[in-house]
Structure 1
Amino acid sequence: MSIQRQCDLTGLPRSSYYRESHGGQESRKNLEIMRLIDEEYTGHPFYGSCQMRNYLHRKGYNINRKRVKRLMRKMGLQSVAPKPSTSKSHPEHKVYPYLLRGIDVSHANHVWCSDLTYIRLTGGFVYLTAVMDWYSRYVLSWEISVFMGSDFCVSVLERALRCHGKPDIFNTDQGSQYTSSDFTGTLKDHDIKISMDGKERAMDKP
């Protein structure tokens, strides 16, 4: 989803100014590079750090791959192209199997899902998470946060449960926010089956 579309959905103007109160703000040059990365990623979501570095070189930015990789990771962007899994799961976080392959999602509250992304603003960026009903594509709950922790993901989940009942299955990726005991524990407390995409497999869809 493009940044413009995300801002439209959340009611945030792209010209909004954001200042992070606890530091960690990127330099103006890095913010400009992140803007270019975001725009190119919108059209080419299969680009990894190597291809993105080459694109930035063509735009006149002499930047190494390590820096591009760091900025993409900070933005929550990764190539959707299938690739070997090289990272290990958090030793304290259980990863659940993908339950949706071959399932016909035929009614509301059958499957909910959640994802986390970032929204670039003039002076920095914030994180957006949302819970959506897979069948209707209706956004049940959403929230914006300065930090990418599990607490605001749990808050969005709890709000959706209070307002819309509960699903049979809840699907996420394997991000640490979703594998945390706080998030999975909330699902278990409501007797909801937990489903997770295969690691780095953006094509896991029912």
Structure 2
Amino acid sequence: MSKSSGRRTRRVFNAEFKAKVALAALREDKTLADLCQQFELHPTQIIEWKKQLLANASGVFGTPSKAIEAVDLKPLHAKIGQQALEIDFLESALNKAGLLSADK
């Protein structure tokens, strides 16, 4: 008796491969059957990736608002404030030591 139950393992495709397949489908220089054979995929999968590419293509040319909102500015503002204090302190110390000219 074989350990294999006849089930195929699920294949996982990276984004680069999906984009390659979807772009090939968009070119329309090959039939869907040819693409299925070339990439060893089911036609439904190719059609789905093509739909996803078309639906999300505008994101390539614009900045999604979620990406902008995801940046937490609090630590950046704190760092700027800290550096401003350090610069002021060093400027004062250099002036007292006579190492910095008054006219900057």
| TM-score scaled by length of structure 1 | 0.18
Higher helix fraction: Structure 1 or Structure 2?
2
Bigger RCO (CA 8 Å, 6+ sep): 1
Q: Which has the higher strand share?
A: 1
